[in-house]
Structure 1
Amino acid sequence: MQLSPDAALVVIDVQQGFDDPVWGARDNPDAEANIARLVDAWSDASRPIVLVRHDSRSPGSPLTPGTPGNALKPVVASARHDLLVSKHVNSAFYGDPDLDGWLRARGIRELVLCGIQTNMCVETTARMGGNLGYRVVVPLDATHTFDLEGPGGLRLTAAELARATAVNLAGGGFAEVVSTDEVVAARP
């Protein structure tokens, strides 16, 4: 795998509030360690890092601004970064400041996405990035999600949702789904 020297690492919603039991059972206990490996690799290479924080507007959300849950987890809280995007919806492209504008102003065309939740904000950002013409790479083992219930009592486990995201992104042509090892070993 090759990545351009200016490929941006976009770290999505790695926040304390996702440790709240209200979310239910999660997958991938190694997600945060893999996110840390990516942040370290990007810092060591002086590549651009974008941190994204979900500032929920839903009453009682563990991600509400001003609450402890809104804070970034220690794995990224003190990470060197070039931009912090605050958002209220699933896509990091609908945040403040404007992620697409910031990337285009710097000529950045490749994104590596990691964070929380795999099938929500990571997948939505990846789909939009692909639609906007970026090369998007998602090291799936640097994401995690939670079991989810849908209509009629249909329930999918977090692992099933992560697999569905991998199929959606790669099969739909939105992103390359890889491992953290592959990204860390990638050459510019």
Structure 2
Amino acid sequence: MNAFAYSASDTALLVIDPYNDFMSEGGKLYDATRATAEAADFDDNMRNILAAIRAASIQVFVVPHRRWRAGDYEGWLHMTSSQSGVRKVQLFAAGTWGGEFHPEFGPQPGDVVVHEHWAQSGFANTDLDAQLKLRGIRRIILVGMVANTCVESTGRFGMELGYHVTLVKDATAAFSAEGMHAAHEVNGPSFAHAIVSTAELLNSLPRAAR
């Protein structure tokens, strides 16, 4: 899928789950995603994208997972294996370093931080759809963690809601190369309108931002 021109009037960048537990050395899942992140050059690509997006005056949305709190998931009839894992390791625990946003990839002044999602989609049970619509956003660009879970689920849900969805395949990571392949080569084409590299995305931003 080919890139095209994006504009500040109707485009937003969604940065999904930019927590220290994922993106900072020493985080609880940093080592689990490290191999695919390094293979994709994730850190440098995120830096370049965020700088260019902000230079283009495109709105940044931070789409965070639920920070673990004592009592979470108690009494639930149906928990996924991922949610059981979150509960076991207390992932993104509120009030801890791991539950803080990555200093570079987390929110900056002017960014919109939406309500935390409990499972995988940044739209389900949050205010993301309302926040986008209130700003006239029709196109969403997705980066962050994890490629074949929260990034994919948010993109798929966004397509169902009528948004134009772009996946940036080298500005995300997963727990395995197979997860990355599934996200971008198998599942992504069924819902995303564009699947691009960081270089392709940057070339499609307003010239002043390049």
Q: What TM-score do the two structures reach when normalised by structure 1?
A: 0.84
* Change in 2 beyond 3 A, CA 1:21/1:8: closer
Cα drift, residue 79 of structure 1: 2.8
- Could you tell me whether the CA contact under 8 Å between 2:62 and 2:106 is conserved in 1? no
User: Residue 42 of structure 2 is aligned with which of 27, 31, 37?
Assistant: 31
Q: What TM-score do the two structures reach when normalised by structure 2?
A: 0.76
State how far apart, in whole Å, the 1-side matches of 2:173 and 2:33 are. Answer: 11
Select between 26-35 and 130-139 the one with higher mean Cα deviation. Answer: 26-35
State how far apart, in whole Å, the 2-side matches of 1:175 and 1:105 are. Answer: 22
Q: Does 1:93 align with 2:130?
A: no
Identity %: 32
Flag as ranges the 4+ runs of structure 1 deviating above 4 A. Answer: none
Stretches of structure 2 that go unaligned for 5 or more consecutive residues are 73-86
* Change in 2 beyond 3 A, CA 1:178/1:63: same
Question: In the TM superposition, what are the counterparts of 1:35-184 in structure 2 within 5 Å?
Answer: 35-54=46-65, 55-56=67-68, 57=72, 58-77=87-106, 79-85=108-114, 86-94=116-124, 96=126, 98-146=127-175, 158-184=176-202
State how far apart, in whole Å, the 1-side matches of 2:156 and 2:19 are. Answer: 22
RMSD: 2.0
Stretches of structure 1 that go unaligned for 5 or more consecutive residues are 147-157
Q: Residues 12-56 of structure 1: CA distance to partner in whole angstroms, max 9, x if unpaired?
A: 011111232586354122212211211111111111000122123
Counterpart residue identity of residue 20, structure 1? K
- Could you tell me whether the CA contact under 8 Å between 2:21 and 2:29 is conserved in 1? no
Counterpart residue identity of residue 201, structure 2? V
1:185 corresponds in structure 2 to: 203
SS in 1 for 2:37: coil
State how far apart, in whole Å, the 1-side matches of 2:124 and 2:182 are. Answer: 24
State how far apart, in whole Å, the 1-side matches of 2:33 and 2:164 are. Answer: 31
- Could you tell me whether the CA contact under 8 Å between 2:155 and 2:191 is conserved in 1? no
**Which one has a larger percent strand, Structure 1 or Structure 2?**
1
Q: Residues 42-97 of structure 1: CA distance to partner in whole angstroms, max 9, x if unpaired?
A: 1111110001221234253231211211111122236344310222221111254x
Q: Does 1:2 align with 2:5?
A: yes
Cα drift, residue 2 of structure 1: 1.3
Q: Does 1:20 align with 2:28?
A: yes
Cα drift, residue 101 of structure 1: 0.6
Count of residues paired in the alignment: 176
- Could you tell me whether the CA contact under 8 Å between 1:127 and 1:169 is conserved in 2? no
